[in-house]
Chain A
Amino acid sequence: MSALGSVVRAGVGRRRVQTLVMTLTTLVAVTASVLAAGLLLASAAPFEKVFDAQNGAHLSVRFDGPGVSAEQIAATAHASGVTGAAGPFPVLTVAPTVAANSSDMPVDSVMPTMTVAGRSTPHAGVDDLVLTDGRWATGPGQVVLDAKNAPMAVGDHIRFPDAPGAPTLTVVGIARSATASADAWVSPAEVAALAPAGTEPGEQMLYRFASAGTDAEVAADRAAIAAAVPAGSVTQAASYLPVKTASEKTTAPYVPFVVAFAVLGLAMSILIIGIVVSGAVGSATRRIGILKAVGFTPAQVVRAYIVQALLPASVGTVAGLLAGNAAAVVVLGTAGRAFGTGTQAVAPWIDVAVPVVVLAAVAASALVPALRAGRLRTVEALTLGRSGGTGRGRLIGERLGALPLPRPLSLGLAAPFRRPARAATMTAAVTLGAIGATFGVGLALSLNGIAQGMGDRQVGDVVVKAVGGPSAHPAPKGSRGHRDPNAASLPGLSGGAGFQPAAYTGPAASPVVASPKPVSTDAPDPIAKIIAAQPGTLRWFGTGTARLGVAGLAGVTPVATFSGDSSWGPHQLVSGSWFHGPGEAVVPSGFLSTTGTRVGDTITLTDNGHQAPVRIVGEVFDLQDGGMMVMTDVRSLAGLGAVELPASIHYDIEVAPGVSVDQYVYDLDTALQPTGAGSHRNQGVTTNTVVLAMDTLAAMLMLLLLVTAGLGVLNTVVLDTRERVHDLGVFKALGMSPRQTMTMVLTSVAGVGLVAGAIGVPIGVVLHGIVLPAMGHAAGTRIPGVDIAVYSVPLLGVLVLGGLLIAVAGALAPAGWAARARTAVALRTE
């Protein structure tokens, strides 16, 4: 082996702790960088990526009626502008119910109307489906559900009561369509078996076009298709653009948060590599002097130390790539679920770029101190390496020694001043960790507060639905909540796309009332009267949704009407106040920005040629219906003759203290029987997919940042302990006990940790104050102040102490080694 090889091997093999720390540092840095880069990429236009990967359909068209033949439908694949087509696939609209299942869904619950398409394979050339669980349906009795139909799972069963024989199908797979072209898929022959008596399945075609970037272009494409078939054959045509818009609104809020964490993670990785590697080489100045004294040239010395750094770094890099890609399965999977795009893999170029950058950073970090030491005169290098910073910080050390503190404490507090540059880099590492922790904790608190404040959840102990409970006869079409792809900016925040498990626990309801219900602006409606009169009722409010016109706005606007005392409802105010009576309303931020109105302005609700002005008294945090839902007292609609969607009418009830909720529900159900309404115990807030995803991502990234910061401290203290081992021997020879030695070492980092916490926490708070409103802006809303001001004074104190904790945790191991070091051996160390 060459002299250089011997030097390198000895340097790596003898300094086992340092080698291990360098390996771990690059491992963590690479893992964090792979995840950060992967997340950044995943959050950049995720819909487009999935749409392109799955050859998503620009337009999904349904053909019905005897006037169009299969050949004519197939021929539309050659219509003007079509670049790709799949089908025709038999398709049906059905109204299934839940059958036996392992997903805790009430059997016989009514499911939303479902579009079922017949496909023999998930790959069709256009709208390729990705199986996320199970397998494809290969025969009768099997169905594959769209991924949005959670919580149904593989193995569950669905019944089709309208089909001859009311067949029950088994869910054999879950698949994802880029544009949700259907809600479920079966084998083509199965479609006919599911058709209710007297009905015929339609035909579905899926198209890609040369020009489909705007609504106008898609409309033109639709017209071209319609022109190719007899008039009236096209019964449905769904553009991909609303899905794209909804997806962008879902993913946009993530971007500021992902960018913040990714930047922190990448900065931390580079900083820690710099700290560890340059520290290791810098502490070897005396060794470099010895090498030069025996004949190594400066160039040989520099080469030796770069190789010595790259060896463990290469091992760490490989391990980090494996760990990063493994962790990405979870992290990117979580992000994908929140984006609604499914798991994306780490792009191959990231697996190449990250190692190159990290190893380059390692080499550069080793090069600078190695060059410096290599250029020093040999005798200088020998002296510099031994003196250990003579003169630095002595005055401060003297002053600290005069404090009435136990000597090990004052010695420890003085230590950072002996090596100010090293202390500064350690402070930087812990500061970044404190920033990450502060930001992550604040984000979790804010997001959970936002989830609590989402207006689409029930509050109180009991919920009454005007149209509720399981029924043997499914209600006619239109009586259940419909699924509107534009319904929510953040679809996951509604806990699921439209399926409402009844969780009904009381007596069976009367036949479902299906027709729209006139808004009752008189004295409390019959259901409200019963609730108010029910013993045990503490307070209640009712709500329903109507679709009205708003002067100056095209189309209809959703209007939520409230009866009773709605002041304790779930909504969080951004500004202004909740309405106090008729003629007042609160609106979301999206409504204000869309209409150009402000709190204090008056808007006019219209219906049936009548008008009802309402004054906007508050801005509310709400994302339902694209942030356009107006909320007002039901009496504001007097004289409009408006109707409410029956499925939207529900009542939230708070039960008096000491009253059994289950008994209350039973008694109330008995009283409600003549009305057809049903009550159930409020199941609480369902898990919010988006918030859960963000919390998970934040927790994982925060953990990485904290580990990286701890490694930076560990390395610095190891170097320091090694350099001062002779001094440690002197202390121990004079009678410093192991506990005193540990105290001294831990105290040397405690001050740094506190200072870093004091610096990092305010920065983390500021970062949170920038990112959260940016996330809201991206989602088209303002965030309520209560969800931004989440840092209480005690919490800030704990977070500052977190800096101390990071530092102490990183120093624990070397402190223990120092305490256990053999005194005689330490004294002999030069």
Chain B
Amino acid sequence: MSEPVIQFANVVKSYGDGPPALVGLNLQVRAGEALAVLGPSGSGKSTLLNLLAGLDKPSSGTVTVAGKRVDSMSESASARFRRERVGIVFQFFNLLDDLTVLDNVVLSAQLTGMSRGAARSRAAELLDSLGVGRHARAFPGRLSGGERQRVAVARALMNRPPVLLADEPTGALDSASGEDVKQLLTDLNSAGQTIVLVTHDVLLAAACATRTIELVDGRVVRDVVAAVR
């Protein structure tokens, strides 16, 4: 069996004096898995995602992603990690309104020092494959929610990250757009992309995930491998 691409070992995360957001989390995700993280508000889903992306550090325990110890990285190393090892799709897209669609997508590649030509070429390919190539010169404000989320997915995939993180990717979409994104994630995972999907949408988890865990009060209360999709 291959080494896990994501490993949480006894991770605890506390904020101030309140109850911990994650309590002794032990979790492994193998390459090619699509893991859905379910749970009610305040269960620790977003905290888990933030720790995975290096956006936050655990109070104790270790987090390893694609061979890198994320919990002990400096800010600069964490930034480099996010460029190279993970792609993030946010609930509210987080596209920059004053950059074109194409410029939004190439941004993460440019931060790694990729030449503009090579970055634009890869970005155009991604946008075309995701069905939004015709909007490359438009600004995000002109796109529908579903189209913006596709652009966000293209941006997340620019640097071919081993892991794709999606935080409520359909949360801000209408049902039709949500279906589009659902299918997109399924197709990506079928092609071998490791995905960690944080959602409260059980149907989305059932449709996209090969494995589902449920968090309640910072603890994994259920860990189920999905039947064949």
Contact = CB atoms under 8 A, between A and B. Distances in A.
Given A408-B111, A733-B90, 20 more contacts: A389-B98, A392-B98, A398-B99, A404-B116, A406-B110, A729-B94, A730-B94, A733-B53, A734-B82, A734-B155, A735-B79, A735-B80, A735-B112, A739-B76, A740-B79, A819-B75, A822-B55, A822-B56, A823-B55, A827-B94
Interface string B51-70: 00101100000000000000
A418 B82 contact: no
20 contacts: A389-B98, A390-B139, A394-B98, A394-B99, A397-B98, A397-B99, A398-B99, A402-B116, A407-B110, A414-B98, A732-B79, A735-B79, A735-B80, A735-B82, A736-B111, A737-B79, A738-B75, A738-B79, A822-B55, A822-B56
A824 interface: yes
A813 B81 CA distance: 26
Contacts of A401: 99, 103
A394 to B, nearest CB: 5
Interface in B66-109: 75-76, 79-84, 88, 90, 94-100, 103, 107-108
A727 B81 CA distance: 19
A734 B108 contact: yes
Interface in A711-760: 726-727, 729-740
A394 B98 CA distance: 6
B94 A736 contact: no
Main secondary structure of the interface of A (DSSP, over half): helix
B37 to A, nearest CB: 16
Contacts of B82: 733-735
A511 interface: no
B116 A733 contact: no
Which 6 A-B pairs have CB atoms at the shortest separation, nearest pair first? A735-B83, A407-B110, A737-B79, A735-B82, A734-B108, A824-B55
Nearest to A726: B94
B89 to A, nearest CB: 11
Question: Of residues A392, A734, A740, which shows the largest number of chain B Cβ atoms within 10 Å of its Cβ?
Answer: A734
A824 B110 CA distance: 22
B75 A737 contact: yes
Nearest to A828: B46
A737 B97 contact: no
A823 B56 CA distance: 8
A734 B161 CA distance: 12
A393 interface: yes
A199 interface: no
B64 to A, nearest CB: 19
A236 interface: no
B56 A824 contact: yes
Given A407-B107, A407-B111, A733-B82, A824 B50 contact: yes
B42 interface: no
Contact of B90 (A404, A735, A822, A827): A827
Nearest to A402: B116
B94 A390 contact: no
B141 interface: yes
B100 A734 contact: no
Contacts of A11: none
Nearest to A403: B116
A820 B50 CA distance: 17
Interface residues of B, number: 32
A792 interface: no
Interface of A: 387-394, 397-398, 401-402, 404, 406-408, 414, 418, 726-727, 729-740, 819-820, 822-824, 827
A733 B139 CA distance: 20
Contacts of B83: 734-735
A728 B162 CA distance: 24
Contacts of B53: 733
Nearest to A388: B97
Given A404-B116, A823-B55, A390 B79 contact: no
Nearest to B53: A733
A404 B76 CA distance: 23
A414 B108 CA distance: 18
Contacts of B88: 733-734
Contact of B98 (A390, A408, A733): A390
Nearest to B140: A390
A392 B98 CA distance: 8
A726 B99 CA distance: 15
Contacts of A738: 75-76, 79
A388 B99 CA distance: 13
Contacts of A414: 98
A401 B112 CA distance: 15
B180 to A, nearest CB: 23
A737 B110 contact: no
Given A732-B79, A737-B76, A418 B98 contact: yes
| Residue from B53, B88, B94 having most chain A Cβ neighbours under 10 A | B94
Contacts of B107: 407, 731, 734
Nearest to B141: A390
A644 B95 CA distance: 89
A822 B55 CA distance: 8
A736 B98 contact: no
B93 to A, nearest CB: 10
A507 B155 CA distance: 90
A729 B50 CA distance: 12
A392 B141 CA distance: 13
Contacts of A733: 53, 55, 82, 88, 90, 94
Contacts of A407: 107, 110-111
Given A733-B88, A734-B108, A727 B79 contact: no
Given A737-B80, A823-B55, A394 B112 contact: no
Nearest to A738: B75
A408 B116 CA distance: 13
A388 B110 CA distance: 24
Contacts of B113: 406
A387 B76 CA distance: 29
Chain A CB within 10 Å, residue with most, of B56, B75, B88, B112: B75
A668 B100 CA distance: 85
A536 to B, nearest CB: 67
A730 B98 contact: no
B96 A727 contact: yes
A737 to B, nearest CB: 4
A822 B50 CA distance: 11
A42 B171 CA distance: 70
B111 A740 contact: yes
A728 to B, nearest CB: 10
A828 B3 CA distance: 34
Contacts of A740: 79, 111
A398 B100 contact: yes
Nearest to A734: B108
Contacts of B75: 737-738, 819-820
A819 B139 CA distance: 27
Given A398-B103, A824-B50, A735 B98 contact: no
Contacts of B55: 733, 822-824, 827
B57 to A, nearest CB: 10
A418 B113 CA distance: 25
Contacts of A726: 94
A401 to B, nearest CB: 6
Contacts of A408: 111
Contacts of A388: 97
A5 B168 CA distance: 39
Contacts of B56: 822, 824
A392 B96 CA distance: 13
A408 B110 CA distance: 9
A735 to B, nearest CB: 3
Nearest to A398: B100
A735 B111 contact: yes
Contacts of B80: 735, 737
B199 to A, nearest CB: 17
Interface in B11-29: none
B97 A735 contact: no
B111 to A, nearest CB: 5
Nearest to A387: B97
